[in-house]
């Protein structure tokens, strides 16, 4: 591959840590900076603070060689040609992204610039952040010719972020200068010319792809909007299929068949047409709200985004009503909960629909036994164990003597349960599936009462909920 480039990544969260390790994987020299001394010490010992496929292996491969971790920002900036800003941009009360961390980092960068640097927005930020970074640098006396600012949004899914970085659908670079664009092309060249994929020790992609990644160079403003627009559109697809699911259920149709039929249309595609309890996580809720705020600042009414949020929030109500309908009263009921993270293959519980449902059950007086393959530790910090809530070691322990079992996260483990064993463990064979992991006929054949999203329920004991009896 080509000559290595010196890169500084500021922030060691999901985006920053994945970017740092993956830049090292494609041959660059990387310094990852974080002001959290405990996290930096952990990373320097080879410990990974987040649950992410392939990340521990790549960290072990490159730590101390191609990637280093430090709290010293100034020295890292001085040694690097490109500085990637990957700090948090949390949602404020108005829905706007809080850019105070970005501003603080840019002010520090300004004090360290002594020669030409390319400063790259990697955090998810609203349009014109690029221009504000430029202004802050100028206000700190940095000469315009000694830096360029580039927008390079990330499109990483938690749980598959490493694979998404190394095998991207697209790489977007937003800049108005050829000099900055050239450096960014060199950074990503191992992916765009396919050199990385030809390496014997390259990570295998989802399809063992060997073709080069696609790269789009555009203006900074367009690049910034591409990120928000992409996430808002994916959130729209999820909300749309959930609205369709509620219609399908009311007319005895099957939303899984409907989604399959829609997904066969190449203009629509099958991804993100999975009905369930709604989206969560750190990206979709925040990015939809931030994109709506950006439109409002421009005097535009983007009412469609309001409806996306409304449907997503209402879907939790729909699912909770299914629980009430199946169990009648909840006080004192023993309920098994499978899933705490907002999605499978991650330990992230931010904005998790599962935790929202769990809180509602606790408020209603239910007793919960909860299990998640990765997110228990984080859930315990937010919802400590109590007389009503205990965390257990596996799905079958959660199900033992429970009045019903809820599936709230789409872990692969939950889609391959031993159904005969599960039936024996439950006090009553009631499964309420918020992720549609099973076919109704399969659950019926194993003797379950099975309620899912957008499909007709199965009642093997003949005792349908009162709300579902014909009037």
Look up the CATH number of the domain holding residue 247.
Answer: 3.40.50.720
- Could you tell me if 195 and 310 lie in one domain? no
Q: Is the pLDDT of residue 179 over 70?
A: yes
* Catalytic site residue from 22, 32, 283, 367: 283
- Could you tell me if 38 and 95 lie in one domain? yes
Q: 13-64, pLDDT tens digit by residue?
A: 999 999 999 999 999 999 999 999 999 999 999 999 989 999 999 999 999 9
- Of 199, 218, 237, which residue constitutes the final position of a domain? 218
Q: Is the pLDDT of residue 209 over 60?
A: no
Q: Is the pLDDT of residue 469 over 60?
A: no
Residue of 470 and 421 predicted with greater confidence: 421
- Could you tell me if 175 and 41 lie in one domain? yes
User: Residue 149, CB half-sphere, CA atoms under 13 Å: how many?
Assistant: 23
Q: 396-424, pLDDT tens digit by residue?
A: 999 999 999 999 999 999 999 999 999 99
Q: Is the pLDDT of residue 95 over 80?
A: no
State how far the Cα of 31 lies from the Cα of 15, in Å rounded to an integer: 14
CB-count exposure of residue 415 (10 Å: 0-12, 13-18, 19+) = middle
Q: What is the pLDDT, as a whole number, of residue 468?
A: 46
> Based on the structure, what is the number of domains in the chain?
2
Give the pLDDT band of residue 465 (cuts 50, 70, 90).
low
CA 429 to chain centre: 32
Q: What is the pLDDT, as a whole number, of residue 470?
A: 37
Q: What is the pLDDT, as a whole number, of residue 203?
A: 87
Q: What is the pLDDT, as a whole number, of residue 374?
A: 96
- Could you tell me if 224 and 190 lie in one domain? no
- The reported pTM is 0.90
Among candidates 280, 277, 275, 273, which has minimal Cα distance to 247? 275
Residue of 166 and 297 predicted with greater confidence: 166
Domain hosting 302: range is: 220-471
Among this protein's residues, is 8 annotated catalytic? no
């Amino acid at each position: 591959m080509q000559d290595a480039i010196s890169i500084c990544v500021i922030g060691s969260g999901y985006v920053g840590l994945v970017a740092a390790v993956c830049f090292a994987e494609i041959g660059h020299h990387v310094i990852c900076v974080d002001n959290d001394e405990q996290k930096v010490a952990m990373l320097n010992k080879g410990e990974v603070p987040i649950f992410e496929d392939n990340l521990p292996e790549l960290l072990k491969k490159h730590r101390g060689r191609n990637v280093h971790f430090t709290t010293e920002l100034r020295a890292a900036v001085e040694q690097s040609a490109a500085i990637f800003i990957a700090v948090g941009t949390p949602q404020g009360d108005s829905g706007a992204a809080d850019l105070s961390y970005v501003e603080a980092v840019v002010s520090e960068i300004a004090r360290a610039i002594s020669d030409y640097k390319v400063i790259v927005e990697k955090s998810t930020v609203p349009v014109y952040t690029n221009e504000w970074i430029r202004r802050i640098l100028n206000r700190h006396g940095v000469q315009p010719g000694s830096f360029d600012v580039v927008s390079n949004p990330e499109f990483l899914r938690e749980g598959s972020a490493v694979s998404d970085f190394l095998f991207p659908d697209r790489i977007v670079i937003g800049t108005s200068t050829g000099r900055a664009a050239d450096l960014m092309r060199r950074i990503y060249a191992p992916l765009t010319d396919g050199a990385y994929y030809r390496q014997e020790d390259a990570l295998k992609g989802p399809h063992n792809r060997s073709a080069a990644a696609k790269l789009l160079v555009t203006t900074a403003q367009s690049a910034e909007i591409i990120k928000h627009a992409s996430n808002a559109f994916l959130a729209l697809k999820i909300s749309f299929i959930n609205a369709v699911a509620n219609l399908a259920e009311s007319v005895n149709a099957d939303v899984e068949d409907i989604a399959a039929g829609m997904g066969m249309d190449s203009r629509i595609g099958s991804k993100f047409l999975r009905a369930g309890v709604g989206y969560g996580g750190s990206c979709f809720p925040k990015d939809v709200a931030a994109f709506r705020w950006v439109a409002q600042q421009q005097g535009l009414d983007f009412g469609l985004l309001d409806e996306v949020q409304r449907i997503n929030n209402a879907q939790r109500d729909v699912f909770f009503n299914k629980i009430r309908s199946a169990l009648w009263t909840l006080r004192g009921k023993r309920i098994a909960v499978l899933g705490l993270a907002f999605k499978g293959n991650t330990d992230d519980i931010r904005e998790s629909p599962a935790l929202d449902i769990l809180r509602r059950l606790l408020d209603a007086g239910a007793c919960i036994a909860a299990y998640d393959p990765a997110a228990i530790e984080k859930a315990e910090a937010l919802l400590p164990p109590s007389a009503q809530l205990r965390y257990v070691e596996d799905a079958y322990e959660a199900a033992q003597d429970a009045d019903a079992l809820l599936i709230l996260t789409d872990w692969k483990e939950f889609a391959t349960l031993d159904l005969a064993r599960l039936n024996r463990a439950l006090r009553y064979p009631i499964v309420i599936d918020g992720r549609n992991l099973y076919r109704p006929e399969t659950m019926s054949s194993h003797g379950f009462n099975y309620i899912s999203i957008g499909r007709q329920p199965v009642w093997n004991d003949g005792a349908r909920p009162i709300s579902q009896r014909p009037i």
